[in-house]
Structure 1
Amino acid sequence: MTGQDYYRREGDRIRAPEGALPFERGMGLGGWLLPEGYMWDLEGPADSPRRMEQLVAELIGPVTGAEFWEEYRARFITAQDIAEIAAAGFDHVRLPMNARGIFDGDELIEEGIAHVDRAISWCREAGISCVLDLHGAPGGQTGANIDDSPHRLPELFTDPAAYRQGLRLWELLAQRYAEETTVSAYDLLNEPLPQKHESLVPRLADFYRDVIAVIRAEDPHHLLSIEGWNWATRFEGIDRLWDENACLHFHKYWSEPTTRSIQQYLDLRERLGLPLWMGESGENDDRWYAEAFSLFAQHGIPWTFWTWKKIDRDTSPRIIPSPDRWEEIRQFAAGRGPRPPRAHEIFEQLLENVAASRCTVRAAVLDALPGIAAAPSVHRIPGVLQEGANR
């Protein structure tokens, strides 16, 4: 294979291989291999995968809890979800991966990486591409709930063992997917280093340098995504040409949807000649979506929405119905209520409800995104939740 067979940088734009869809409009698959508490409509300490696992184990036992998570990962995203994403007009998905689920510190965990393999195959069947996003690196790259860090610290940059494991993980991923052209990019780290850890930015630069060298020793072709720090909003200290086949990746939440608000990234594109990718935005209202995502398209910036589905939240295109007694789980998790009786029944219903066929469709979210629309079979009432056509 040659570089022309892969998604790649051409000047300051991302180009698709011949016959493939362009890299312009994407959807995030948050909540699957790295769930966050708010995606379950939870408040309080159960906000990261390991803490959510502790909650489930406390309520239904560790053995049944492990079985629950196995079923959850099998059902949350399936070929049907990917087909619906493609049918709506998206051309790629961004797949958040948790190192703990796919990597034992030395080798890939086959039952974990199999989920990634299946997602890629579903994308191939649907005619779209898949970005591999290291959302939770070994040791954690943010020190927040979103990276599942064990001690709420960005130990990827402070623990030499975690640093080595981060390099090793990407080495293995590059070996596995070097010839997989359905993979459009490697997103090296999600949202590294919030503002309070700014002193570690030089170490982030070291990691980008080292991990790119490790990947390129195995894979000369895949596009590399370089995220800014402070929730992927700042590039000071890492504003350079890291690789000839790379893009600069920023996120945008809860700020004015104007050219002025993204001018720093436009200037960076002009100065470095690298493509931009707005790889994560959402969690807002329909009017903001229409303005912000049209802004990205206006400036020739590919974008990826966050995220496909969550429990009982109307900010996503798909809404997972809450189990009948879900409020009991919410209150217990927040420390405001007693232990729910027969909690296994609630989690069994959750497993039923995460299926694509059981989710409700919020067409207004999709209609707010440029070039995207809900399936014609979805009855439209703007801003109102509608049942999925195949529920």
Structure 2
Amino acid sequence: MKDYTIDGRASAWKNVTRFQKSIFLGALILSCLTFANTAHAQYLKAEGKQILDPNGEPIILRGIGLGGWMLQEGYMLRTSGPQHEIEAKIEELIGPDKTEEFYTAWLANHCTKRDIDSMGAWGYNSIRLPMHYKLFTPPIEEEPVAGEITWNEKGFTMVDDLIDWVKANDMYLILDLHAAPGGQGENADISDYDRSKPSLWESKANQDKMIALWKELATRYKDEPAIGAYDIINEPNWGFQDHPNDLNGCAESSNSPLWQLQKDVTAAIREVDQNHIVIIEGNCWGNNYSGLPTLWDENLVISYHKYWNSNEQGSIQGMLDMRDSRNVPIWLGETGENSNGWFTDAIRLFEDNNMGWSWWPLKKMGGNNPLQIEVTEGYQDILDYWSGGAKPSEAEAYASLMEMTENLKVENNTYHPDVVDAMIRQPYSDETLPFKDNTISATEATTLYFVDYDLGKQGAAYYDAEYTNESGNAGGLAWNRGYSYRNDGVDIEACNDTPTNGFNIGWTEDGEWLVYSLNVEEEGAYDIKLRYVASTANSSIRVEIEGSDQTGLVALPKTTGWGETTLTDVALYAGTQKLKFYIEKGGINLNFMEFSKKKY
């Protein structure tokens, strides 16, 4: 029997020939290299100008940020101000204990496994998590021992849960420090900056806490392949060289403190984690890269943000030039807050240039995102009070706020399939799809509401004179002037007619048109009754079926309020077909079309 003691193994090793030793050591080294490569291949990796998946293949990250969950931004709640001010306003209404109860429910309901399952089913492959540092560690002013750093398990538990949900959907999670200790920019709402306290840039203690937080995150998640990357600071906007005259750092020429802090964070991460991508961002909301030194890490990605500008090649050429000159991947880490048409155009631009993207946000109190949170009557009373109106009672305010936390749940949100379709399908398809089941009955009248035109891009499902906001600012152009129902360029408002599905098309202009997919039960001639409002006698329309003009130019009589006119003998054939409704002369509001098969 062989001796398996240490001395016995040493003795046996002496008796092995040099050739046998070389074979053994070679196999051992190969085994170790294979293991190392297999372990490394579990993670996303930056290589040259591309992000590679675990198989070494280029990957386009298609994601959405979970804005509003860990960090509240005022505009998402139809108010203003950073989270600490919102908290104070809520506490003034319902007291500290009920405020804590509200925030516990907020964090529990805003994002659940069902949200992530939905995103996976829609076709996204990544999620950007905007983190508030307070969920992981207290502010420096609240540390039990000054200068020490303690941890709050609440934030880490939320990340752990999210990792489980992401893994179940074969997605990646990108951790994003959205609110850094002290706040990283004068735009206080996006980082919860409190101007009465030292900012991130005015406090070494805050910077040390940020570095320690990232090291702790990296320590906990260094072996987690579902983590796609560490986005170490969101949208810094701080003037270092001339702060009074350049509050947001857009005129900075060196950005030295920003680069040094990101270097320090990267070094702390690499002490414990060699696996994960590190993402860096520039000043001026992630867009000023002046002074960027030689890149300090081999597994690094540069992020930028893009809002309210054109989708021409020139709008991203500067970042493409940086990608080439630095030989580094570029990731569009945040964009959105625009029309469906803008989304489609932007995503096609990014992906044609091999650039991944993350939209903003998944849900808020507003309709230009996949999920919309309802504004209840009770919460509107609170908003009115914050704007100078009557103060609700504590009981009323508490009930309304807790009702809001229930409405945060995905099952209580309004889902906007047009937004998802614009992002996932429309960049690569001119096909239009039914928005609703428009089956035209052969035996009874069928109502088709004008707002239920097909899913599809501008120029395919509809044509509207104004369909994107490229003005350079958030409110520069209202592509849907009624801000209702859908996020396309078509202008939709609440409807006061009967019957109604709640909405009608308004603000129509000359030359606009809409497409509807019909499923006709029986071939024949149909009358189509139009329900509309025309303030003048100059409006006119025309209807085509599969490109064939069925009506010629039809003048619409002026109405007092809602009125009707009927298009007669429109030929429809059995099965699916496209109806195209032309608005030759605008100035009309449109409620519905009613189809009736003629009986002879």
Counterpart selection for 2:376 from 320, 323, 339: 323
Q: Secondary structure at the match of 1:369?
A: helix
Q: Which stretch has the larger CA shift, 8-17 or 83-92?
A: 8-17
Counterpart selection for 2:247 from 184, 190, 196: 196
Match of 1:61 in 2: 95
Larger helix percent: 1
How far apart in 2 are the matches of 1:245 and 1:347?
Answer: 44
Q: Which amino acid aligns with 1:142?
A: G
Q: Give deviations 1:175-201, integer Å, cap 9, x for gaps.
A: 111111100000000001245253682
Q: Which residues of 2 match residues 1-391 of structure 1 at below 5 A? A: 2-18=39-55, 22-42=59-79, 44=80, 47-104=81-138, 106-143=149-186, 144-151=188-195, 155-194=199-238, 196-198=247-249, 201-238=255-292, 240-311=294-365, 313-334=366-387, 336-341=388-393, 342-371=396-425, 379=436, 381=452, 382=455, 384=485
Contact 1:97 1:133 in 2 (8 A): yes
Once the 2 structures are TM-superposed, how far is the Cα of residue 371 of structure 1 from its aligned partner? Answer: 4.5
Contact 2:222 2:276 in 1 (8 A): yes
How far apart in 2 are the matches of 1:186 and 1:293?
Answer: 23
Q: Secondary structure at the match of 1:352?
A: helix
Contact 1:32 1:77 in 2 (8 A): yes
How far apart in 2 are the matches of 1:119 and 1:231?
Answer: 26
Contact 1:279 1:305 in 2 (8 A): yes
Q: Give deviations 1:26-56, integer Å, cap 9, x for gaps.
A: 01100000111111112x4xx2221111121
Contact 2:50 2:58 in 1 (8 A): no
How far apart in 2 are the matches of 1:348 and 1:205?
Answer: 42
Q: Which amino acid aligns with 1:263?
A: Q
How far apart in 1 are the matches of 2:486 and 2:411?
Answer: 15
Contact 1:247 1:276 in 2 (8 A): yes
Q: Secondary structure at the match of 2:233?
A: coil
How far apart in 1 are the matches of 2:377 and 2:172?
Answer: 36
Q: Give deviations 1:337-362, integer Å, cap 9, x for gaps.
A: 12123101111210111100011111
Contact 1:7 1:15 in 2 (8 A): yes
Once the 2 structures are TM-superposed, how far is the Cα of residue 108 of structure 1 from its aligned partner? Answer: 2.3
Instruction: Give the 3 Å change call, closer, same or farther, for CA 19–32 of structure 1 in structure 2.
Output: farther
Contact 1:28 1:307 in 2 (8 A): yes
Q: Which amino acid aligns with 2:45?
A: R
Q: Which stretch has the larger CA shift, 19-28 or 155-164?
A: 19-28
Contact 2:60 2:351 in 1 (8 A): no
Q: Which amino acid aligns with 1:83?
A: D
Q: Secondary structure at the match of 1:133?
A: strand
RMSD: 2.4
Q: Give deviations 1:349-391, integer Å, cap 9, x for gaps.
A: 1011110001111111111114589xx998584483599xxxx
Q: Which amino acid aligns with 1:327?
A: Q
Q: Which stretch has the larger CA shift, 135-144 or 1-10?
A: 1-10
Structure with more relative contact order (C-alpha pairs < 8 Å, separation 6 or more): 1
Contact 2:67 2:130 in 1 (8 A): yes
Contact 1:23 1:92 in 2 (8 A): no
Contact 1:88 1:372 in 2 (8 A): no
Once the 2 structures are TM-superposed, how far is the Cα of residue 326 of structure 1 from its aligned partner? Answer: 2.0
Q: Tell me, which stretches of 5 or more residues in structure 1 are unaligned?
A: none
Q: Tell me, which stretches of 5 or more residues in structure 2 are unaligned?
A: 1-35, 141-148, 239-245, 428-432, 438-451, 456-483, 488-500, 502-600
How far apart in 2 are the matches of 1:362 and 1:80?
Answer: 16
Contact 2:183 2:200 in 1 (8 A): yes
Contact 2:43 2:53 in 1 (8 A): yes
Contact 1:28 1:94 in 2 (8 A): yes
Q: Give deviations 1:211-250, integer Å, cap 9, x for gaps.
A: 1111100101100101111011121112532310011100
How far apart in 1 are the matches of 2:92 and 2:409?
Answer: 25
Contact 2:41 2:56 in 1 (8 A): no
Q: Give deviations 1:295-334, integer Å, cap 9, x for gaps.
A: 11111100001000002x1111100111222221112223
Contact 1:49 1:148 in 2 (8 A): yes
Contact 2:123 2:424 in 1 (8 A): no
Q: Which stretch has the larger CA shift, 361-370 or 272-281?
A: 361-370
Contact 1:232 1:250 in 2 (8 A): yes
Contact 2:367 2:485 in 1 (8 A): no
Specify the structure having the higher radius of gyration (Cα).
2
Contact 1:226 1:246 in 2 (8 A): yes
Larger strand percent: 2
Q: Which amino acid aligns with 1:112?
A: G
Q: Which amino acid aligns with 2:173?
A: C
Contact 1:227 1:250 in 2 (8 A): yes
Q: Which amino acid aligns with 1:319?
A: Q
The count of residues paired between Structure 1 and Structure 2 equals 380
Q: Which amino acid aligns with 1:345?
A: A
